[in-house]
Homo-oligomer: A and B are copies of this chain.
Amino acid sequence: MEIRKLLKNNFLIFDGAMGTMLQRKGLKAGQLPEEYNIQCPEIIRDIHRKYLEAGSDIITTNTFGANRLKLRDSSYSVETIIENAVMIAKEAGGEKKVALDIGPIGQMMEPIGTLSFDEAYDIFKEQVIVGTRAGADIILIETISDLYEAKAAILAAKENSHLPVFCTMTFQENMRTLTGTDAITMVQVLEGLGVDVLGVNCSLGPKQLYPIIDKILKFATIPVMIQPNAGLPKIINDETIYDLTSEEFSQEIKYIADKGVGIFGGCCGTDPNFIKAVKEKLENLRPKELKNKRLTTACSSTKTVILGENVKVIGERINPTGKKKLKEALKSTNIDYIISEAIKQKETGSDILDINLGLPEIDEIGMMTKVIKELQSIIDLPLQIDSMKSDVIEKAVRIYNGKPIINSVNGKRESMEKIFPIVKKYGTCVIGLTLDDAGLPKTAEKRLEIATNIIETAKNYGIPEENIIIDCLVLTASAAQEAVMETLKAIPMIKSRYNVKTALGASNVSFGLPERKIINATYLALALGCGLDAPITDSTSPVLMDTIRAFKVISNQDKECREYIDFYNRGAKEDKIKKEKIEKDL
């Protein structure tokens, strides 16, 4: 099933609510709707038929809560329920497609709840395997509020089934999901994980979803699906009634279709009349094509950092190389120290945090897992997973709740063979270092050549350009002075040829010289002038951040110099004292 091909000519219409229909058929509160698949399959079959008659192209199995946790008190197994549900839908649907419905597990995940990522994965995996085997055509993960849960579900689907994966999340009026994910972050993470369709379901009525839909369409590069409720709920005589008529609903859907959404259905409060009205409204219309936005992003679960819009700082301090205190913290599993380093970097202006825990004496995978779990519960900055070991990287990327950057791949074949499959599978960005078997090159031209090799090889793995961030690497001025400017020259050369962004860990340039920060700050300014998007640097160093803040003023990124003026006027005296203290500590 090639969604994009189908959408070329027609909108795709799912069905409407199952729950609402079952309540009308006598489902009691507290009763498990999924048991109907066995207890009264004809009711379910009948609902499917009504939706098909109304015009649904795809019907959804009655398996929203068919997971082992929700069914723990049921006398039916997950397997029995899902198998029956798929069979009923297929019988009803005939030629039409059947979507295996997978709703949220119903328990909060770590760190708010106790459900671990691996447990969630296993629960979803069971649903996916049974549903796929039973003959579903699509896996529809829906009504998800927690991005982390969506990630577990999508991975379970992708790793245990060949079916297309649709995923829709549920937003609140504050434009975020219950656990704080905003539209752009959902788009970045879900697209990265390789879903075929993403969108919103439930949440609100269509009209209330407009601003969220606008955001999604601004960033999405895959088809978007919207299944709103039948308006907003009102409680009348202890009953929940939704405030839209099917005609009103379908008018709003038509408006959303004009924005660029291609796949529709209904959620709470909708019934076959709503689907019929939608079908009629969209008859003879064609979905708009989405333009590919090609953004380079890193995301935590609640924050997306776009590289290239503005200088973004990648904090480099969580890396034991040359840092005695951090080494000790790692050896003694002193996570608090690492967290304090992270907070310090966030407070001083880091946008993304590089996390390197590589010490030969420690269990790097274990430590990385712990640190990521802790950090993502405390700090909202996206992380950059930095390790020499691809198994550490894969594990970290897998359990990370967001879209991280991987640091790094390089131009060696072995490196690319290990790293690119991870980048592709988890939809991360990756830092591409311009070095290869011949080492770190001296010329800009050779850097371009290696970058070209990295980018073109990545494409063969299905990794788009925008997920590559090239680090042109600088040699030390004391050892290879004539090569120092070559790094800077390479930046615009590479950026003009490819839609990639650039990072640079530039402090190496001053190695072995006195007053290193003077060289570092000047080199940083020059690199920013050449188009460097993301310095990998120490945001706790005032001189370096001074340079970045000044560059943002000069390059008109810091509009009306507001950040700059705020920063330096805000208790200028106190800052100075603090600054001098920090510089002494360095």
Contact = CB atoms under 8 A, between A and B. Distances in A.
Interface stretch (A214-222, A447-455, A479-487): A479-487
A565 B512 CA distance: 10
Interface string A493-534: 000000000000000010001110011011101101110000
B484 A554 contact: yes
Interface stretch (A99-107, A178-186, A542-550): A542-550
Contacts of A478: 561
Given A481-B560, A556-B485, A550 B523 contact: yes
B488 A529 contact: yes
A438 to B, nearest CB: 22
Contacts of A550: 518-519, 521-523
Contacts of A1: none
A156 to B, nearest CB: 49
Interface in A546-576: 546-547, 549-551, 553-556, 559-561, 564-565, 568-569, 572
Chain A interface extent, by class: 35 or more
A62 to B, nearest CB: 58
A577 to B, nearest CB: 14
B526 A559 contact: no
A554 B519 contact: yes
A555 B488 CA distance: 10
B513 A477 contact: no
Contacts of A551: 522, 526
A561 B547 CA distance: 22
A486 to B, nearest CB: 10
A504 to B, nearest CB: 13
Interface in A143-168: none
Contacts of A526: 525-526, 528-529, 551, 554
Given A477-B561, A513-B561, A554-B484, A518 B530 contact: no
Given A513-B561, A515-B568, A484 B556 contact: yes
A108 to B, nearest CB: 46
A528 to B, nearest CB: 8
Nearest to A509: B554
A513 B565 contact: yes
B481 A556 contact: yes
A528 B546 CA distance: 18
A485 B554 CA distance: 7
A525 B555 CA distance: 13
Nearest to A477: B553
Contact of A518 (B488, B519, B549): B549
Given A525-B526, A561-B478, A514 B556 contact: no
A576 to B, nearest CB: 10
A488 to B, nearest CB: 7
Contact of A523 (B554, B561, B565): B554
B513 A564 contact: yes
Contacts of A554: 477, 484-485, 509, 519, 522-523, 526
A405 B519 CA distance: 31
A514 B547 contact: no
Interface string A459-489: 0000000000000000001100110110010
A555 B486 CA distance: 9
Closest 10 CB pairs of A and B: A525-B525, A522-B550, A514-B568, A526-B529, A518-B546, A515-B568, A529-B529, A519-B550, A522-B525, A481-B556
Given A514-B564, A518-B546, A518-B549, 9 more contacts: A477-B553, A481-B553, A481-B556, A481-B560, A509-B554, A513-B553, A515-B546, A518-B550, A525-B547
8 contacts: A481-B559, A514-B564, A514-B565, A521-B550, A522-B550, A526-B529, A526-B551, A529-B529
Interface of A: 477-478, 481-482, 484-485, 488, 509, 513-515, 518-519, 521-523, 525-526, 528-530, 546-547, 549-551, 553-556, 559-561, 564-565, 568-569, 572
